[in-house]
């Protein structure tokens, strides 16, 4: 029996032995990831409730600022079983090194939940829409509240159907157009950045919400093996059936690509027995199909 089959069997047994479905509220049920979370909850037979006071857990999807997090704590403390907060891998010091806001000393890899965080807050201060964005402050606001157990999930770059950024849309369009060459920056070509296919990320979020062991824990979420950008492009080419060449050119982004953003998801996988339900190849195939329809 495969690891995925074992994992799904254990999920089924835990759900059915409990003799009742979990009641989960999704705070912020719109956007890219949230609809997939809702679909995953329904597939697992859990009940989606509107009132967090009636929920076994609340999944806080859109907490971008300290004010957002503090408002959620006031609303849900003492009223719900657990708060699951979606954070980001951008909290790590490595992200600041990449962007040049921290000293140039590189962070050791892989990045774990115990790796150093950024010392410079507000990474997008120059963007008026994101000036107050800071997941580090979100995490501080929700962790350690005595009457509100919290679980923080540090998400990767999420891709797949519904991705408004169309992270791989340019590649797919070039393949559809039968471009003989796709260019990528020389530094970026060997850079590693953890991604996560949206259905896998949603499944991990649902597991964190419904498993009783996750209160008070922080987890990295994302793919198990992190390819370089070139390797990722090659995988898209194989699945698509593209026969062109990859050409490296000078980088045009002001990032220090010596600093990889490859995070470890060992803690989440080992503590909860998690296995991605969608394989990397199938994730790429579904993404290509969606991009071809919407690009």
Distance, CA of 236 to CA of 23 (rounded, Å) = 38
183 pairs with which residues across the strands? 247
Containing 26, the helix (H) or strand (E) segment is strand 23-27
pLDDT computed for residue 134 by the predictor: 98
pLDDT of the residue at 9: 54
Ramachandran angles phi, psi of 231, nearest 5°: -65, -35
Rounded to two decimals, the pTM is 0.94
Residues in Cβ contact with 247 at an 8 Å cutoff, skipping those fewer than 6 apart: 181, 182, 183, 184
Give the residue among 217, 216, 201, 218 at the shortest CA–CA distance from 274.
201
Q: Are 120 and 96 a contacting pair, CB within 8 Å?
A: yes
> Which residue(s) pair with 85 in the sheet?
60, 152
- Summarised one tens digit per residue, pLDDT across range 6-33 is 555 555 545 544 446 899 999 987 899 9
| Residue 212, pLDDT above cutoff 50 | yes
pLDDT at residue 54, rounded to an integer: 86
User: What local confidence, expressed as pLDDT, does residue 18 receive?
Assistant: 47
Task: Decide if pLDDT at 53 tops 90.
Answer: no
Grouping H, G, I as helix, E, B as strand and the rest as coil, residue 69 is: helix
pLDDT for position 150: 98
CB 281 within 8 A of CB 240: no
How much is the pLDDT for 4?
63
pLDDT digits (tens, 9 = 90+) for 215-250: 999 999 999 999 999 999 999 999 999 999 999 999
Where would I find the H helices in the chain? Answer: 3-17, 34-43, 66-76, 93-99, 135-142, 169-176, 186-189, 198-210, 229-240, 266-272, 280-294
Residue 21, pLDDT score: 85
Do 187 and 249 meet the contact criterion of CB atoms below 8 Å apart?
Answer: no
Q: Can you tell me the mean pLDDT for 35-64? A: 94
Q: Would the pLDDT of 94 be above 60?
A: yes
Answer whether residue 107 shows pLDDT above 60.
yes
pLDDT digits (tens, 9 = 90+) for 126-156: 999 999 999 999 999 999 999 999 999 999 9
Report how far residue 82's alpha carbon sits from residue 150's, in angstroms, rounded to the nearest whole number: 6
What are the tens digits of pLDDT across the range 147-202?
999 999 999 999 999 999 999 999 999 999 999 999 999 999 999 999 999 999 99
């Amino acid at each position: 029996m495969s690891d995925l089959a074992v994992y799904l069997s254990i999920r089924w047994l835990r759900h059915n032995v409990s003799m009742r479905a979990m009641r989960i509220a999704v705070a912020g049920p719109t956007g890219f990831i949230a609809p997939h979370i809702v679909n995953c909850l329904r597939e697992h037979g859990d009940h989606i409730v509107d009132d967090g006071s009636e929920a076994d857990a609340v999944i806080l999807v859109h907490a971008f600022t300290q004010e957002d997090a503090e408002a959620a704590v006031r609303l849900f403390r003492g009223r719900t079983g657990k708060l699951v907060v979606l954070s980001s891998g951008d909290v790590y010091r490595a992200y600041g090194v990449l962007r040049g806001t921290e000293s140039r000393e590189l962070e050791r890899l892989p990045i774990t939940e115990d790796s150093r965080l950024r010392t410079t807050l507000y990474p997008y201060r120059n963007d008026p829409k994101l000036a107050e964005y800071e997941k580090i402050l979100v995490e501080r606001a929700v962790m350690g509240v005595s009457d509100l157990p919290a679980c923080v999930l540090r998400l990767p770059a999420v891709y797949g159907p519904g991705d408004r950024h169309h992270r791989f849309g340019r590649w797919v369009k070039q393949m559809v157009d039968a471009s003989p060459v796709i260019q990528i920056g020389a530094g970026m070509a060997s850079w590693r950045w953890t991604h996560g296919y949206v259905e896998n990320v949603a499944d991990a979020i649902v597991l964190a919400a419904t498993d009783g062991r996750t209160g008070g824990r922080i987890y990295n979420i994302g793919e198990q093996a992190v390819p370089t950008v070139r390797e990722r492009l090659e995988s898209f080419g194989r699945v698509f059936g593209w026969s062109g060449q990859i050409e490296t050119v000078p980088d045009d982004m002001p990032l220090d690509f010596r600093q990889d953003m490859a995070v470890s998801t060992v803690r989440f996988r080992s503590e909860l027995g998690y296995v991605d339900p969608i394989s990397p190849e199938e994730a790429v195939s579904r993404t290509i199909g969606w991009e071809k329809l919407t690009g």
